[in-house]
Amino acid sequence: MIIPIFNEEKTIGDVIKIVGSWPMQPEIVVVDDGSTDGSDLVVKNLGVKVSYIKLKQNHGKGWAIACGIKESLGEVLVFLDGDIVGLTHKDLEKLIAPILNNRTDMVLGAVRFLRLKFLGPVPAISGERVILRKNVTSHLETMKTTGYGVEMLLNKIHANYE
């Protein structure tokens, strides 16, 4: 799991607790993109094994995700935003199943956000995704420059896949 965060002190703890207790979860990489709140203390004090990367200044979501990909070891990459509310193991299983069953090369999720307070599909810009490492490693430098447009870049990369 790669979880980019920026000032997610109120929500990141619950996200990590769910991900950390999920039986299928081999690793959690949290990339703190220059948070100025207590996000770092929440992550460090949960008692969950996390690879934590703290960027000194905010570079944008694309940069954070590229750093997370470099740090992670898995061939299947799961991206989760740090402000999801109500995340469950069942949500994670639904998100990853199409990749594990070789039915697709990218899965997008629709989730609940604390800030937006709605549940609904936002397929083109969803931060919750599952992709294969092999499809994105050659795009990491470009990804760093995309900021919040990283989702659109991932869509473009996967446009010719099934």
Amino acid at 33: D
- Classify the phi-psi angles of 110: left when phi > 0, otherwise alpha if psi is within -120 to 50, otherwise beta: beta
Domains and CATH numbers, the chain: 2-154 (3.90.550.10)
pLDDT truncated to tens, each residue of the chain (162 aa)?
999 999 999 999 999 999 999 998 779 999 999 999 999 999 999 999 999 999 999 999 999 999 999 999 999 999 999 998 888 999 999 999 999 999 888 988 865 544 444 444 444 446 789 999 999 999 999 999 987 788 888 888 888 775
